[in-house]
Amino acid sequence: MADQSDVWLVVPVYNEAQVIADVVRNALQTFPNIVCVDDGSRDGSADAIRGTGAHLVQHPVNLGQGAAIQTGVEYAREQPGAEYFVTFDADGQHQVADVVRMLDRLRAEPVDIIVGTRFKGDDSHIPLIKRVVLKTVVAVSPKLRKLKLSDAHNGLRVFNKKVADELRITLNGMGHASQIVDMISQRGWRVTEEQVEILYTEYSMSKGQSLINGVNILFDSALKTGSRR
Amino acid sequence: MLIQFLLIAAVIVLLVFFLKNHGTTKTAAGVKIGFLLFLVLAVVAVIRPVEVSKVAELVGVGRGTDLLLYALVVAFGFQTINTYLRFKELELRYARLARAIALRNAEAPEPPQDAPVVEAVERVEDPAHTS
């Protein structure tokens, strides 16, 4: 297996004590460097992370997933030898094999960031409502069509040091996915996407963002000009 | 009616103005001047309600009180946006503060059991790095 010591996995964690240790141990078999950002969990997620061999950064208060990703990336990019970065969900939805494949592409191809997509192959395993909503988002967004991205809200992303250094997520909540898309188009990062598999377990379904939260995301994105500086 | 045009125009102008210039000194000064004007107008409205009614008639509203109500609605909407934007900005600063604290207190994984016990120092290099 290729040496992955220049890769850092950034895992935002919020109340995932049940599964986080297993997810991290499993990923550690392939990736030696993992930083878990505990986003003010109240269920002992931090204790579950301690002892797994992952680095632990704890937000003193709950800030939101966007903020946790930014924190994790800021931690990881300061580590010696860090060249490639991965955002990886804590609930076990993402597959290590997908990450390895994306990293191989990132090392070989002239791209800065690779985003996971659920919609390149067979997507019948995705819950119907989710499929319809996610596809609508893409259909109404000219930016996504221009960048040829089919799944903006996929949490699995792999990117290089340039992107990590320039990444500045200011939307603390779930709006960060669209903000990353904005940054891709504004800063001219070379982007492509890769088919990934998302495991919809009962656990991840109960934890995943509800569709009604899409309203919040839209609102935040529409008004984010206010927090620009 | 003229009033409809005026009210809608006011809302749009305020919204665009705020989203564009939010947080600058110029905007802050503008808000203060607006507030002063508002106070002066309030005094005028109290002392000479007839004048307000005249203005109201001029723009196509029945009474002076109605005009005040409409103006208040616009001012309230404007205030709401202002507060929302301010909260967003505060949230961002708060996040940066929390992030700084989090990064200072980062915990690197413990070294393997057989290695000599070293006190956990922040940002020690991952043992896997050196292997």
Distance CA B81, CA A98 (A): 43
> First CA to last CA across chain B, in angstroms?
79
Residue type at B23 in one-letter notation: G
Strand pairing class (A7-13; A34-38): parallel
Strand pairing class (A84-87; A157-160): antiparallel
Residue given tokens 């000599």 in the structure block = B116
At B67, phi and psi to the nearest 5?
-60, -45
Closest listed residue to residue A58, CA positions, set A46, A50, A67: A46
The mean predicted confidence, pLDDT, of chain A is: 85
Chain A to chain B, count of Cβ pairs less than 8 Å apart? 87
Interface test with A, best of B18, B104, B123, B129 (most A CBs within 10 A): B129
Percent of chain A whose pLDDT exceeds 70: 88
Residue A59 to residue B128, Cβ atoms within 8 A: no
Nearest-CB residue to A57 (from B88, B103, B129): B103
Edge-to-edge order in the sheet of strand A113-117: A55-58, A34-38, A7-13, A84-87, A157-160, A113-117, A191-195
Distance CA B90, CA A11 (A): 25
Predicted pLDDT of residue A227: 42
- A35: nearest CA partner in chain B: B108
Global pTM value: 0.74
Predicted pLDDT of residue A223: 63
Segment holding A1, helix H or strand E: none
Predicted pLDDT of residue A1: 54
The answer, for B126 touching chain A at a CB cutoff of 8 Å, is yes
Band the pLDDT of B111: cuts 50, 70, 90: low
Residue A75 to residue B22, Cβ atoms within 8 A: no
Nearest-CB residue to B109 (from A53, A59, A226): A53
Q: What does the pLDDT look like over A99-121, one tens digit per residue? A: 999 999 999 999 999 999 887 76
Of the two residues A18 and B4, the one the predictor is more confident about is A18
CB-CB neighbours of A137 under 10 Å: 18
Predicted pLDDT of residue B115: 45
Distance CA A131, CA A119 (A): 9
Q: How large is the ipTM? A: 0.79
| Chain B residues within an 8 Å CB radius of A33 | 126, 128-129
Residue given tokens 């002063």 in the structure block = B36
Buried b / exposed e over A207-220, threshold 16 CB at 10 Å, is: bbbeeeebeebeeb
| Chain B residues within an 8 Å CB radius of A69 | none
Q: What does the pLDDT look like over A150-165, one tens digit per residue? A: 887 788 999 999 999 9
Residue B108 to residue A55, Cβ atoms within 8 A: yes
Q: What does the pLDDT look like over A19-28, one tens digit per residue? A: 999 999 999 9
